């Protein structure tokens, strides 16, 4: 992973035209969920929402593959625990909380 920091372009996102690709993607997901409902033969709103959320999660999870480093840099903006060590189970104190919890419950 490089140490280069991704910078947001000036003025990006200030016009509604910048969001046209996002609107197209959401519209395609809506239409896909509707098409799946028609394939079922009957309309069920709960099933439609389940299908829409499935399409939503699959499509938006694919964005990270287009620019993995940019995704990681952008995700760090929302990370409340930026300075802690990285890895599974590391908590706010920098220690492995999963192992500590398992050891504490065995005593």
Give 23-79 pLDDT, tens digit per residue. 999 999 999 999 999 998 899 999 999 999 999 999 888 877 887 777 777 777 666
Task: Examine residue 33 and state whether it is found in any structural domain, yes or no.
Answer: yes
The DSSP letter of residue 96 is B
Task: Examine residue 83 and state whether it is found in any structural domain, yes or no.
Answer: no
Cα–Cα distance, 80 to 70 (Å, whole number): 18
Task: Examine residue 97 and state whether it is found in any structural domain, yes or no.
Answer: no
Task: Examine residue 72 and state whether it is found in any structural domain, yes or no.
Answer: yes
Task: Examine residue 59 and state whether it is found in any structural domain, yes or no.
Answer: yes
Task: Examine residue 4 and state whether it is found in any structural domain, yes or no.
Answer: no
How many structural domains comprise the chain?
1
pTM: 0.55
Cα–Cα distance, 80 to 85 (Å, whole number): 13
pLDDT in tens, 34-45: 999 999 889 999
The DSSP letter of residue 94 is S
What is the chain's alpha carbon radius of gyration, rounded to the nearest angstrom? 21
Task: Examine residue 23 and state whether it is found in any structural domain, yes or no.
Answer: yes
Domain extent, residue 67, equals: 16-76
């Amino acid at each position: 992973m490089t140490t280069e920091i991704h910078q947001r372009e000036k003025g990006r996102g200030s016009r509604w035209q910048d969001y046209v690709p996002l609107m197209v993607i959401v519209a395609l997901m809506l239409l896909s969920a509707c098409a799946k409902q028609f394939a079922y033969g009957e309309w069920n709103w709960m099933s439609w929402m389940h299908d829409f959320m499935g399409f939503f999660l699959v499509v938006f999870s694919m964005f990270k593959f287009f620019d993995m480093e940019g995704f990681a840099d952008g995700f760090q903006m929302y990370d409340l625990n930026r300075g802690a060590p990285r890895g599974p189970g590391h908590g706010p104190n920098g220690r492995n909380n999963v192992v500590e919890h398992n050891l504490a419950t065995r005593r």
